[in-house]
Amino acid sequence: MIKRASNRNSRRGIVATEAAIVMPFLIITMFGVWEVGRIIQVNQIVVNSAREGARLAAGAYVNGTPVTSPMVTQAVRDYMQASGLPAAAYNGATITLTCLASPTWVNPSDALPLDRFQVTVTIPTGAAFNSMLWSLVYRLSSVNQMSVTVNWVSCTDAKIAISTVLPY
């Protein structure tokens, strides 16, 4: 019996030592998983904001008002703001609307039916990108900006002319 008691006392600090060795790795892994999850969440928000802008541009008109490129840009920023991204992220984002069709157009209201276009949202390196991260783990990664491109097709109505003169 005496031998057992002394054996218990000699192993007393082993659990604390094991915890001291394992805990830093466990905490770093936890923060890494947390940060990767945050980047995936932010990427999904940026993709959805680009889709929202493209959806607006595809319609070409909202309540009879022609859709312009600044309206698309504002719709993307509004979506990012409503989704909870920091002001530095959505104000620092670069949003471009590019016509891929011929003839080209600047405003979506000038698009022909089925004209292809793309909306690109880029959150650049620096304060805009860093504001979206939750911890300091991003300094361990080489990822320092986020860019999303969405390809879309115009859904405008065909522009046709109807003659009011009867053919006879």
Mean pLDDT, rounded, for 13-29: 88
Q: Look up residue 28 and give its amino acid.
A: I
Coil, helix or strand for 92? helix
* Residue 133: exposure state from Cβ atoms within 10 A (0-12, 13-18, ≥19): middle
DSSP string, 97-138: EEE-SSS--SSGGGPPTT-EEEEEEEE-TTHHHHTT--SGGG
In degrees and rounded to multiples of 5, residue 156 shows phi and psi of -70, 160
Q: What is the pTM of this model?
A: 0.77
Determine contact, residues 156/60, Cβ cutoff 8 Å.
Answer: yes
Mean pLDDT, rounded, for 137-158: 80
| Distance from C-alpha of 21 to C-alpha of 24, rounded to nearest angstrom | 7
Q: Look up residue 86 and give its amino acid.
A: P
pLDDT tens-digit readout, 42-51: 899 999 999 9
Residue 128's pLDDT band (cuts 50, 70, 90): confident
Q: What angle do CA 146, 151, 155 make, to 5 degrees?
A: 140
- Looking at residue 45, what is its pLDDT? 94
Choice between 150 and 3, residue whose per-residue pLDDT is larger: 150
| Distance from C-alpha of 63 to C-alpha of 61, rounded to nearest angstrom | 6
Strands (E), the chain: 61-62, 65-66, 94-99, 116-123, 146-153
pLDDT tens-digit readout, 68-116: 999 999 999 999 999 998 898 889 999 999 999 988 999 998 898 999 9
Average pLDDT of every residue of the chain: 85
